Amino acid sequence: MKKDSISSMAALAFFVGLMLVGQTSWAQQFSEEREAIDKARISFIDDYAAGRVDAIVAAYHDDATFAGTLQPFWLEGKGEILDLWTRYFNAWPRRQLKFRQPIVRLYGSTAVETGYMEMYMGDANRNVTTFIRYSITRVNEGGRWLIVNMNVSSLPGN
């Protein structure tokens, strides 16, 4: 083999190695980001069941928007979101939430999650189950994935 061919092959191997290292770092970062979003979802489920309004509202960005199954209009900002969750938790002392088929797509410091939920609510007189499709957009600020927009709607026929 000629000296130039050996040098070219060594350079190629070096650059391929750099690319693989870059991919590993990117894959590791994606995995870490995905894990952080999964943890945020699990915390939301736990806080929902326990009725921890402050923890639920802390998951939202200050100027977040929310559209849910219980009101006809968009809520804007933490104050309106706090009011909704407070009234909801007071009306339904028993709650459970299950996320189904969550899919998370990362776009830099923004994540879009879509999927389905099963929402169980109960009081002294009745139990209600609602099947929901959802979309949650989060931004990463200071290492926290904060909800900037959440839209939930009942599935047809529900």
Instruction: Provide the CATH number for the domain around residue 67.
Output: 3.10.450.50
Q: Left, alpha or beta for 24 (phi > 0: left; psi -120 to 50: alpha)?
A: alpha
Closest CA to 104 of 114, 96, 94: 114
For the chain, what is the domain count? Answer: 1
Non-local (6+) Cβ contacts of 96 within 8 A are: 48, 49, 118, 119, 120
> CA-to-CA distance for 56 and 41, rounded, in angstroms?
11
- Tell me which amino acid residue 36 is: A
| pLDDT at residue number 8 | 58
Exposure b/e, 67-86, CB count within 10 A at least 16 = b: ebeeeeeebeebebbbebbe
Q: Which domain holds residue 12?
A: 3-154
| pLDDT at residue number 10 | 54
Name all contacts of 55-63 with Cβ < 8 Å and 24+ positions apart: 56/85, 57/81, 57/82, 57/85, 59/146, 59/147, 60/146, 60/147, 60/148, 60/150, 61/139, 61/141, 61/146, 61/147, 61/148, 63/148
* Residue showing tokens 């806080």: 47
Non-local (6+) Cβ contacts of 50 within 8 A are: none
| pLDDT at residue number 135 | 97
Could you read off the pLDDT tens digit of each residue along the chain, which spans 158 residues? 555 555 555 555 555 554 555 555 545 556 788 888 888 898 999 999 999 999 999 999 999 999 988 778 999 999 999 999 999 999 999 999 999 999 999 999 999 999 999 999 999 999 999 999 999 999 999 989 999 999 999 998 76
Closest CA to 99 of 38, 32, 18: 38
* Residue showing tokens 């350079």: 11
Query: Is pTM beyond 0.85 here?
Result: no
| pLDDT at residue number 26 | 47
Closest CA to 118 of 129, 128, 102, 134: 129
